[in-house]
Every structure is written in C-alpha cells, then in structure tokens.
C-alpha cells in the first residue's frame, strides 16, 4: 500500500512539472497573447509576384516565397512579403489559389522579369496582428472566422481573399478586405 501511494505521488509530481514546463514554453512563445480584430482605413496596395494554383503541399510556392523574402532582405525590392489566398469554390478540395509576392513600398520599383503586378484597392479592411511564434498562432481558419465575424458585426461583407503580410521579424498581419 505504501508503494502504491509513493507511485501516485511521483506520478503527480511528474505531471505537475510537465504542466509547468509546457505552460512556460507556451508563454515564452507568445501563446497567451490576445488576438484582436481591428477595422482599418482604406488602402491601395501594389503587389508584384506570381499566381499559384497548386496542391497545398506543392514546393513551388514555398520556393517562390523564399525567393521573395530574400529579395526584400537583400534590399533588391523595397517592400514586404505578401501572400494572398483566394477563397475559390470552383477549385478541387486539395488545391489552393495563392498570389505570392511583395507589397511595394515605393510607387516606382524595379520588378523582376517573371513577376506580374496587381493593384488592390480597399474600401475598408479588417486585420489581425500576430507577433507570437508560428507554433502557437491561431490556425488560418480561426483567423478568417474572426475577421468574418467582425465584418458582419460592422455590417460589411468580406471579399473572397485574405492577405497575409509577413514582416522580417516574423510577425504577421492577416487582412480581410470589405467589398
């Protein structure tokens, strides 16, 4: 009987210490940061990049995004890495439509040869700012649901795309634009 009590005591201690360790790591990664949705003013954004309609595990968009991130880091193009995910009902379930590129900071920029330029103009937009580590960030579907809920609360309807703006410090802004 004494041995059984000792086992439960040590098992309880192990569970307690693991809970404290996991909670501490989660806290240090920013997991307890509050995620708020903000309504922002209209903006015109010019994005230079490339459209991908591929399986969501395809390597080509990842490679292109890495190339864009390097171009921004090296100062080849003045801007910010931007990923625009389109919500397209006509695509098969295993495909995703994304425009990956760089939001241009200056009106005139030297754009590489195989990039296309797209203009985006919003009336109003809703955004979530995430500075926590990727491991503890809310999943994209949860963020999109938060943006939709805030837009409905304000009497707006969101367009069929979401714009992720990825900053060099690994923080992220996810925007949903009103129609």
Partners of 176 in the β-ladder: 126, 162
Residues 151 and 63 in one domain: yes
Which positions ≥6 away from 95 have C-beta within 8 Å?
53, 54, 55, 56
Quote the DSSP letter at residue 136: G
Which pLDDT belongs to residue 29? 87
Residues 44 and 81 in one domain: yes
User: Model pTM?
Assistant: 0.83
Which pLDDT belongs to residue 134? 82
Residues 72 and 148 in one domain: yes
Domain total in the chain: 2
Which pLDDT belongs to residue 128? 93
Domain that holds residue 21: 1-32
Q: What is the tens place of the pLDDT at every residue in 43-54? A: 888 898 999 988
Residues 132 and 174 in one domain: yes
Residues 66 and 100 in one domain: yes
| CATH code, domain carrying 113 | 3.20.80.10
Quote the DSSP letter at residue 134: G
The b/e string for 84-123 (b: 16+ C-beta within 10 A; e otherwise) is bbeeeeeeeeeebbbbbbbbbeeeeeebeeebeeeebebe
Say whether 122 sits in a helix, a strand or coil. coil
Written as tens digits, the pLDDT of the chain (179 aa) is: 566 778 888 899 999 999 999 999 988 888 888 889 998 888 888 898 999 988 878 899 899 989 989 988 888 888 899 999 988 778 888 888 899 999 988 776 677 788 898 998 888 899 999 988 888 888 888 998 999 899 899 888 888 889 999 998 888 999 998 88
Residues 42 and 26 in one domain: no
Torsion of CA 22, 24, 28, 29, to 10 degrees: 20
Residues 57 and 27 in one domain: no
Residues 17 and 95 in one domain: no
Which residue, 158, 135, 136, 163, is CA-closest to 147? Answer: 158
C-alpha 50/C-alpha 48 separation (Å) is 7
Which pLDDT belongs to residue 136? 85
Residues 129 and 57 in one domain: yes
Residues 65 and 142 in one domain: yes
Detail the DSSP E strand segments found in the chain.
37-40, 44-55, 79-86, 95-104, 116-121, 125-130, 158-166, 172-178
**What stretch of H or E contains 149?**
helix 140-154
Residues 98 and 171 in one domain: yes
Residues 43 and 79 in one domain: yes
Which pLDDT belongs to residue 3? 66
């Amino acid at each position: 009987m004494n041995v059984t009590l000792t086992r439960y005591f040590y098992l309880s201690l192990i569970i307690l210490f693991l809970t404290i360790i996991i909670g501490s790591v989660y806290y240090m990664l920013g997991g307890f940061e509050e995620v708020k949705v903000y309504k922002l003013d209209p903006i015109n954004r010019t994005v230079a990049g490339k459209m991908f309609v591929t399986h969501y595990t395809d390597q080509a968009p990842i490679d292109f995004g890495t190339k864009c991130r390097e171009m921004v880091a090296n100062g080849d193009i003045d801007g910010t890495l931007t990923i625009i995910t389109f919500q397209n009902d006509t695509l098969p379930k295993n495909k995703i439509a994304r425009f990956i590129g760089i939001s241009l900071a200056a009106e005139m920029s030297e754009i590489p040869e195989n990039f296309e330029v797209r203009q985006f103009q919003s009336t109003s937009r809703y955004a979530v700012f995430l500075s926590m580590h990727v491991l503890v960030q809310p999943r994209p579907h949860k963020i999109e649901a938060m943006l939709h809920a805030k837009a409905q609360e304000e009497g707006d309807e969101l367009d069929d795309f979401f714009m992720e703006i990825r900053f060099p410090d690994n923080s992220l802004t996810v925007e949903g634009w009103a129609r």
